């Protein structure tokens, strides 16, 4: 399903290719989550180590991304569509590596500060900006999710275009590495709403409360769907996978300790 969605997004007229491929890609609808990868980074082949085994027509796809493809006329029509899909895949995998570098983190930080990835729907998170994250580093397996640093939960993008972006294009390490590099950005955990807010803020809080209630109802509904006759919600909760923040495959130490404590409390209350 995810592979088909990615291929359906690879549409564009010949005139679109008259401009720089990366600029065209970033300006296309649905690609707002991506930042621009610097050309110097792409041209350094060390940064692309191993990607030639993951991308079909790797050399041509790289030439297309860097605008070094000799002639578009020499490409057969059936290969042109496939090459564009592979170019998107290659750029996405390069992007996942780029955004965990110092310069890449700085660019994504700008987007985070502008809340380009959306805000958490939960009321107590007080419109906390979200960050994109992948549940796997392997392409075509999981779509991108949005991580809230306050409630430490994951959400699906509102837009179907964003929902079809491959999670591997952001990787499993990005949001937590961002907060390690910029620890002053770590938000406080969810707390009670400000009761001293004025009328205009109250109306805004009402809107967030409705959105949060809707998100909670959807979550409860999804849990209920997995519970059949004779199966308690507690048993379903024990089977549910928790999102575990990791950096390059290793669990974040403080969060890992907290989650072990939370799971121990949950297990005691269930049994």
Closest CA to 81 of 22, 7, 15, 26: 7
Residue 35 has pLDDT above 50, yes or no: yes
How much is the average pLDDT of 233-249? 60
Are 259 and 244 in contact by the 8 Å Cβ rule? The answer is yes
135, 145 contact by CB (below 8 A): yes
* Confidence check: pLDDT of 217 > 90: no
CATH class for the region spanning 2-108:
mainly alpha
Task: Give the contacts of 196 (CB within 8 A, at least 6 positions apart).
Answer: none
pLDDT at 148 > cutoff 80: yes
Q: Which residues lie closer than 8 Å to 199 by C-beta, 6 or more apart?
A: none
Q: Is residue 215 a contact partner of residue 222, using CB atoms and an 8 Å limit?
A: no
Where would I find the H helices in the chain?
2-9, 21-27, 39-43, 58-65, 77-98, 102-113, 160-163, 174-181, 199-225, 233-239, 253-270
Question: Cα 125 to the chain's mean position, in Å?
Answer: 19
DSSP-based helix, strand, coil % in the chain, nearest 5: 55, 5, 40
- Report yes or no: 35 and 104 within 8 Å, Cβ to Cβ: yes
CB atoms within 10 A of CB 18: 8
Cβ-contact 81, 24 below 8 angstroms: no
Residues near 215 by beta carbon (within 8 Å), at least 6 away in sequence: 121, 122, 155
Q: Is pLDDT at 195 greater than 70 in this prediction?
A: no
Q: What is the pLDDT of residue 232?
A: 55
pLDDT at residue 197 in the model: 41
Q: Are 214 and 121 in contact (CB under 8 A)?
A: yes
Range with lowest mean pLDDT among 202-206, 237-241, 262-266 = 202-206
Question: Whole-model pTM?
Answer: 0.70
- 131-133, strands of its sheet edge to edge: 131-133, 145-147, 154-155
Domain ranges of the chain: 2-108
- Please report which confidence band the pLDDT of residue 265 belongs to, taking 50, 70 and 90 as the band edges: confident
For the packed helices 102-113 and 174-181, what is the interaxial angle rounded to 10 degrees? Answer: 90
Secondary structure letter of residue 52 according to DSSP: G
What integer pLDDT is reported at residue 252 of this predicted model? 64
């Amino acid at each position: 399903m995810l592979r088909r969605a990615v291929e359906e997004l690879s549409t564009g007229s010949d005139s679109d290719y008259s401009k720089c491929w990366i600029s065209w890609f970033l300006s296309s609808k649905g690609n707002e989550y991506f930042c621009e990868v610097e050309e110097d980074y792409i041209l350094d082949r060390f940064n692309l180590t191993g990607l030639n085994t993951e991308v079909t027509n790797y050399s041509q796809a790289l030439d297309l991304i860097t605008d070094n493809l000799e002639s578009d006329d020499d490409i057969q029509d059936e290969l042109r569509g496939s090459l564009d899909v592979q170019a998107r895949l290659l750029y996405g995998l390069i992007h996942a590596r780029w955004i965990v570098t110092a310069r890449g983190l700085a660019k994504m930080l700008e987007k985070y500060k502008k809340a380009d990835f959306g805000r958490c729907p939960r009321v107590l998170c007080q419109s906390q900006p979200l960050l994109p994250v992948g549940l796997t580093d392997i392409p075509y397996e999981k779509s991108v999710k949005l991580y809230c640093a306050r409630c430490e939960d994951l959400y699906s993008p509102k837009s179907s275009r964003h929902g079809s972006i491959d999670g591997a294009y952001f990787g499993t390490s990005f949001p937590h590495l961002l907060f390690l590099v910029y620890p002053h950005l770590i938000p406080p955990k969810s707390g009670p709403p400000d009761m001293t807010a004025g009328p205009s803020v109250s109306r805004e809080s009402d809107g967030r409360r409705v959105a949060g209630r809707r998100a909670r109802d959807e979550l409860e509904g999804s849990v209920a769907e997995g519970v059949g006759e004779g199966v308690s919600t507690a048993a379903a909760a024990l089977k549910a996978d928790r999102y575990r923040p990791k950096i390059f495959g290793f669990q974040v130490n403080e969060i890992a300790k907290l989650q072990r404590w939370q799971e121990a409390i949950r297990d005691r209350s269930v049994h």
